[in-house]
Amino acid sequence: MDPPARESLVCALEVLNYLGAMDDEGNLTKLGEIMSEFPLDPQMSKMLVPREALKVADEAKARFGHIDGDHLTLLNVYHAYKQNNEEASWCYNNFVNNRAFKSAENVRQQLVRIMARFNLKLCSTDFNSRDYCVNIRKAMVAGYFMQVAHLERTGHYLT
């Protein structure tokens, strides 16, 4: 019997990741552990897991949510990650991708080095400051002003 083709294996791992059964490091998640007990394919197994069992992940996500959008939500997660000493166990317990945050930290350090090389001032606002969110939004608009739209009373967006 021949081993499965590499493409088939990669596809199977992607399916498990998309279903939330496997994290990006190849470890089974809590959901994946439950799903693995059923003698079914992954999609069918996930259908049988009650929504209440998945509520824990949703509650973890809600703890970090920010009213001003996904960017600030991700910054909330990043600050919590840093406050918890970048622990892999914290990531696992909070349904956060540890590898993605390690990669983000590497990119951040690279950006800091480039800014230093060009003598660009690092402008950081304390995370607990009232101005933090406003300053983040101002910085985002400086680069992405062309993607800004205004919702008119008619329900249409004006760019």
Q: Mind listing the pLDDT tens digit for each residue in 68-95?
A: 888 999 999 999 999 999 999 998 888 7
Return d(Cα 148, Cα 1) in angstroms, integer.
57
- Among 33, 56, 57, smallest CA distance to 46 is for 33
Mean pLDDT across 51-74: 80
Catalogue all structural domains in the chain, each as residue range(s) with its CATH number: 1-49 (1.20.120.1080), 54-122 (no CATH), 124-159 (no CATH)
Instruction: Tell me: pLDDT of 51 over 90.
Output: no
Average pLDDT over all residues of the chain = 89
pLDDT, residue 92, reads 81
pLDDT, residue 112, reads 94
Instruction: Tell me: pLDDT of 52 over 70.
Output: no
pLDDT, residue 95, reads 79
pLDDT, residue 97, reads 82
**How many residues are recorded in the chain?**
159
More confident residue, 141 or 97: 141
